[in-house]
Structure 1
Amino acid sequence: MSYSSETVNYGPILFQYDLYPEKIEEVGKVKKVISRRGTFALKETSLNEEEASWFTHVIHRLSEIGYHQIVPLYPTKYGDYTVQYGNRTYYLMPWFAGGDRFGLTREEVIIEEIGKIHFLTLKEQDFSPEVVDHSFQYLMQRWESRQLEMERFAEESERMPYMSPFELTYLSHFHHMMRMAEDAKRRLKDWYDACHSEKRYRSVLCHGKLSRNHLLYSHHGEPHLLNFEKAVLDTPVRDLAVFFRKAVHLSNWTKEEGGRLLSLYQRHIPLLDEEKSLLVSYISYPEPLFHSVDLYRHQRERYSQIEFVHRLEKRISAMRHIRDFCDLILTPPPPQPLDTNTNTDHI
């Protein structure tokens, strides 16, 4: 049988799994390997040796503590779970066709599964003022530095004899962006003060790179998460912020839908008040808007002015949705009515 040049390139890697492919297809960032032994997924990454070791530890640790909704890794014939080849790292998984679960959106399934992982890995950390101080100061300095960059861009735009449509759009929303940044910093300060007051801090295993594309279904219809390459021990808010910043772009998004998704998560791990402040801080800081400016400044030839303006306006609209959602997050739940039929003779 003859192999394509692409198949030959992956031959030394697949040999370590005793796999002799009949065909290899590019499917996104994964290679679909078709062989007589079945169909597999080969992922190519830039993980170094230390990162690859942590990645495989995460996968095995999740299985050990009872979470099995992850796409498993296949070991090589030498017992390794990753293969270093050149300056790249590879790992092999079963091939899942994808699809969706009937009756549930991908967002519902993802938030449920992340809630389960966070619950299983939740740990009350010994309170360390130094750790909290460092986290607060690092993020505050980073945000303030970003604001200065955006202020400089505004000043540069105002000095232009003829402003571009993107620059005009940016300047028309500039003061609103700065107010959003200041509001986010105030919420970050609320989190900082509450941590010192309550003297508590919780960590979980965060997926680190949540995406709709990182949910697959097995042949039996069971959901499985993949791509834990960026997994890290951190506040649960880290995953939630990534999740909601993406979910707000969905066509069916409303603040009520956001509240419902957050409630699904909190069935597994209710957020503390200071964690809610931190979540609001993370998602309300206008980093997506600033990123649009970065793209315009450094890749101006890549898109048309109309495309740049559309991208910025779309993100401004999303930030408005986030603002409404943040108000809902911070609204205390209504008091539960007393059950007058409860038998209280034992009190």
Structure 2
Amino acid sequence: MIEPQSTNLYKNLLIKYNIEPDFVEDCGKVQKIYSHHGIFALKKASLTKDMHNRFLHTIQNLHEKGYRYVVPIYRTTDGNYVISSDQSQFYLMPWVESGISINSAQRFSDLLREAARMHSITALRGKINHPQYEAYYGKMKMHIDQRKLAYERFIEKCESRIYMSPFELLFCTYFKELMRSEDEALKNLEEWFAHINDKKESRIVICHGNLSPTHIVYDANGNSYLINFERTFTASPVYDLYYFFRKYFYKYPQKSSDALPLYRQYTRYNQLTDDERYFLFYHLAKTNNIHKLIQKYEEARPKSEKDAVAKLQHYLWQMQAASSFITSIESELEAEIFAEGTGDGTGDGAGEGSVTAP
């Protein structure tokens, strides 16, 4: 139920769009606005100055590029996309509701397709700053060494106890896998650095910043559209994929085959270069979240051992799923290269098409 004070707020905001609401339905952060002009979605956001600027840049850039697979943001009568009230920001969109039932697999697939389209259409090339990349490589390599050393010290401490805690026992059980994952991260970091050193340009795109199945909507014809560009930023397309798959893998054990179709769907519309692919693998293989969790555990034992164990277990499942995912993609690429070399078939040219780096 909408409080009268809130209703007055929304009325005052909608005046700037020349809209008189007949009824306002509270849908959380989104208000469903009924009016004789139609049905609208008034979204409440909390944007810093930088987020606000990036949001506006994204909306304007996508419009200029002719990308139409986003729910449009309406301007106020004085030409603004965002209006402010009481330290909050609001923006208005058409209400999109298809009434069509979309299963989760299709929703995820459409999300990756639209992300790929957005990355492809907003891609820019810039000259590579090799000293900066070399400094980054050295820093990330040092972090891998630090994590491995921390794991070795922690297992020594755990094994010196007569009785381990459940958290310590779980860590020790997966210690070797953790070390292998960091070795995998190092291998891919080195491959990325070797490839980037041979290039003169890198590719940057507009990243959505929060790819989620809740951020794609469908119209009555089943067409999909992206929403929520409040966390957008400009960087390598790898970062959108990394954040997406990191969240996707953070659940119960699963087969890498669940994620492979999503990766294929993305690369069908926006092929990754070799260096971008290695950069993605590096980020997926590193275990920095587990490292932070162990540091926190050592500094102060948590009030709930059960919660700490559950969080560690989810991070370990995430690590295993990512490792299997990387291996599956590498196996597919090797099979394609073999098929091309023997003349038995043609691959999809992974790593070809774009010549830019993250």
TM-score, scaled relative to structure 2: 0.79
**Using the alignment, how far apart are the partners of 2:208 and 2:104 within structure 1?**
25
Alignment of 1:205-284 (within 5 A): 205-248=206-249, 254-284=255-285
Q: Name the % identity.
A: 29
Change (3 A) 1:195 1:82: same
- Residue 179 of structure 1 is matched in structure 2 by 180
Task: Name stretches of at least 5 consecutive residues in structure 2 with no aligned partner.
Answer: 346-358
Give the TM-score of the pair, scaled to structure 1.
Answer: 0.81
Q: Output one character per residue of 1:53-104: Cα deviation in whole Å (capped at 9) or x when no partner.
A: 3212211211221211111111112210001223222212222236554796
Structure 1 residues 138, 41: closer, same or farther in 2, change over 3 A? Answer: farther
Contact 1:100–1:217 (CA under 8 A) maintained in structure 2: no
The secondary structure found in structure 1 opposite 2:204 is: strand
Structure 1 segments unaligned to the other structure (5+ residues): 341-347
Instruction: Give the deviation of 1:309 after TM superposition.
Output: 2.5
Task: Give distance in 1, aligned partners of 2:96 and 2:155.
Answer: 48
Question: Match for 1:228: what amino acid?
Answer: F
Distance 2:90 2:10 in 1: 10
| Residue pairs, 1:58-97, within 5 angstroms | 58-97=58-97
CA apart distance, 1:196: 0.6
- Following TM superposition, by how much is the alpha carbon of 1:249 offset from its aligned partner in structure 2, in angstroms? 5.2
Distance 1:339 1:307, change over 3 A: closer
Structure 2 distance, partners of 1:299, 1:78, is 55
Give, as a single letter, the amino acid of the residue that structure 1 aligns with 2:286: Y
Asked if 1:39 corresponds to 2:43, the answer is: no
RMSD of aligned residue pairs (Cα, Å): 3.5
Mapping of residues 25-174 of structure 1, within 5 Å: 25-27=26-28, 29-97=29-97, 100-101=101-102, 105-137=106-138, 139-140=140-141, 163-174=164-175
> Residue 59 of structure 1 contacts residue 70 of structure 1 at CA under 8 Å; is this kept in 2?
no
C-alpha separation between the residues in 2 aligned to 1:143 and 1:100? 45
Q: Which moved more, 1:255-264 or 1:267-276?
A: 255-264
Is the 8 Å Cα contact of residues 253 and 321 (structure 2) preserved in structure 1?
no
- SS of the residue 1:105 aligns to: helix
Mapped partners of 2:234, 2:207: distance in 1: 6
Give the conservation status (yes or no) of the 8 Å contact 2:24–2:31. no
More divergent stretch after superposition (140-149 vs 284-293): 140-149
1:32–1:41 CA contact under 8 A, matched in 2: yes
CA distance 1:173–1:275, shift in 2 (3 Å): same
